[in-house]
Chain A
Amino acid sequence: MPDTLVKLEGVYKSYWRDSLEIPVLHNIDFEIPKGEFLALMGPSGSGKTTLLNLIAGIDRPSRGRILVGQENVAELSESSLARWRSRIIGFIFQLYNLMPVLTAFENVELPLLLTRLNRRERRRQVETALGIVGLSDRMKHYPNQLSGGQEQRVAIARAIVTDPDLILADEPTGDLDKQSAEDIMELMTRLNQEFEKTIIMVTHDPRAAKRAHVVRHLDKGELEAA
């Protein structure tokens, strides 16, 4: 039995709009082993992104425990969470979310500015990450000089540059054409297989989900049985 990397116990999440409570996730219990490639699917509003955000520690559960490694994410302070995220999590967004004023190199280097690496070490890691995503020749390009697929590859390089244990991807192919989406999924598969990264990916795309080892469905905040 492989080690568990992510464990959710009785996770419940609701939002308040004025005095009205809107439940989003109902008592989610599940475990994700190290090295897993999990696809979370479900209709809009089913709570997929909320679940991803809770695991990433950028949102907090109303109830329940979220363990990533040995850390109970729900109990960490904001600053501890920020430090924890910079070490453990690599996040990939649907809309890439690159800094438009920074080059591809500088965007990838951004998370490394929070580490104690010197300039030369940072450069080596950035070049490695951009090499993995196949953009060594686009280092000095700004986001607006790249295609959508290339932007997403820069975002993936940014997510892996700190060598995190867990990669969380929120619809990484949602804004891409078919070929670019294929390329990105190829890259995600490679990250999982070659670099043994644990990946949790939210997606609407069945073709993307096929790349995952496990596909779980969320509906109305409830996780369907595996």
Chain B
Amino acid sequence: MKVLKLIFRNTFRHPLRAGLTILGLAIAVMAFAIIRTTVSSWYAGAQAASPNRLVTRSAVSLVFTLPIAYEEKISKIEGVTGISHAMWFGGIYVDPKNFFPQFAVDGDTYIDLYPEYIIAPEQMEDFLKQKNAVIIGRRLADRFGWSLGDQVRLTGTIFPGDWDFVIRGIYSGAEENTDETIWHMRYDYLDERMRTEMPGRAGQVGSFIVQIADPSQSAAISQQIDAMFENSSAETLTETEESFMLSFVSMASSIVTGLQIISVLVIGIILLVLGNTMAMTARERISEYAVMKTLGFRPLHVVGLIIGESLFIAALGGAMGLLVTFPIARLVQAAMADFFPVFKVEPITLVLAVLASFAVGLMAAVFPTLKAVRTPIVEGLRIID
């Protein structure tokens, strides 16, 4: 207890220096946690993917469509238990900055493939009854203050013109990482208008969502689907939903890698800051350590004092950093809702932040400890404060 008291009092001997170092550590740990959370949020979609779902899209590019007629053929493959289709709509609500994902989906089948969307049965019935009905996620509704029955107009970019909709359903996510920002409109509403205005684009879909009974068969079924349309005018590429999601992440892989490097650099910089503080501290106290050794304290005692102080500072900074991480994460989530439907600080991030703080505390003490231990007593005693 006496040693802990000594460590505590030594830590705050220079309150400003200790305070600034702890603050620096707190900011670094918070930055580390937020950056890690940003990276993991990038992968949230992939993490939320179901192993029972495959996505079939054009083998050439995502921007190319597939004939809706493929759906029936795919549904007949053994092991396929359900199928639906979706089309990226890409409309603008008032201003282009109000971005949110919009899909035209098959009302009868699409929602059934996503059990993680929780929606009241009567809302589902209303959605099926009205062609321009939409089902939206809870967070999207909250973002724009929409409620059931609201009429919303989107301006098409891929599909030109003004499009009027009525909100008939609001779903909630069954899991924490379920995306609650998606707008689901009915595909038949889109297709019907395309048939009259742009007949060449009617009967086309962006992707098929294929439900399979056994995830271990995903590779075989994917091959079967793609083989079925090989050498056709619209060849397909089928992959698991997770791979499909990861393909979006890979488009920003250099950004993700950059963020990961920055998160490590942040820890490296704060290691230098704490290392500098501990080096100054140990240098100032060389004579005190010499006195302690004269009194009979062994080098290990001195090692304990220096490492203890360094770890204490790191623990305080780390704890403060983690405490402020949560409100900051909520602010980031609110500000970046367009990009990150899910922005949750994961337990592994907390564990890594704690480990990083511990490692910084330990490493920052290495050189000061060596200096204090290696300085002979008589040399230490010669140093006058």
Contact = CB atoms under 8 A, between A and B. Distances in A.
Tell whether A pairs with B: yes
Interface of A: 50, 53, 56, 58-59, 78-79, 82-83, 85-87, 91, 93, 95, 97, 99-102, 106, 109-111, 113-114, 158
B381 to A, nearest CB: 7
A110 B296 CA distance: 10
A86 B299 contact: no
Contact of A102 (B6, B293, B377): B6
Contact of B295 (A59, A95, A106, A110): A110
A153 B10 CA distance: 23
Nearest to B1: A119
B13 interface: yes
Interface of B: 2-3, 5-6, 9-10, 13, 287-288, 291-299, 376-378, 381, 384
A85 B295 contact: yes
Given A58-B377, A78-B299, A82-B298, 8 more contacts: A56-B294, A58-B378, A59-B376, A91-B294, A95-B384, A101-B6, A111-B296, A158-B295
A59 B10 contact: no
A79 B9 contact: no
15 contacts: A58-B294, A58-B377, A58-B378, A78-B299, A82-B297, A85-B296, A93-B291, A97-B288, A97-B381, A101-B6, A101-B10, A110-B292, A111-B295, A114-B296, A158-B295
A82 B291 contact: no
Contacts, number: 60
A113 B291 contact: no
A113 B376 CA distance: 22
Nearest to A88: B296
Contacts of A100: 13
B288 A59 contact: no
A114 to B, nearest CB: 5
Contacts of A82: 293, 296-298
A93 B288 CA distance: 12
Nearest to B379: A59
A101 B292 CA distance: 14
A99 B288 contact: yes
Contacts of B298: 78-79, 82-83
B3 to A, nearest CB: 8
Contacts of B381: 58, 93, 97
Nearest to A81: B296
Nearest to B287: A97
B43 to A, nearest CB: 48
Given A58-B377, A59-B378, A95-B384, A101 B13 contact: yes
A85 B2 contact: no
Contacts of B10: 101
A83 B295 contact: no
B290 to A, nearest CB: 8
Contact of A53 (B2, B293, B378): B378
Q: Which of B5, B9, B381 has the largest count of A CB atoms less than 10 A from its CB? A: B381
Contacts of B13: 100-101
A117 B9 CA distance: 24
Contacts of B287: 97
Contact of B296 (A59, A86, A99, A102): A86
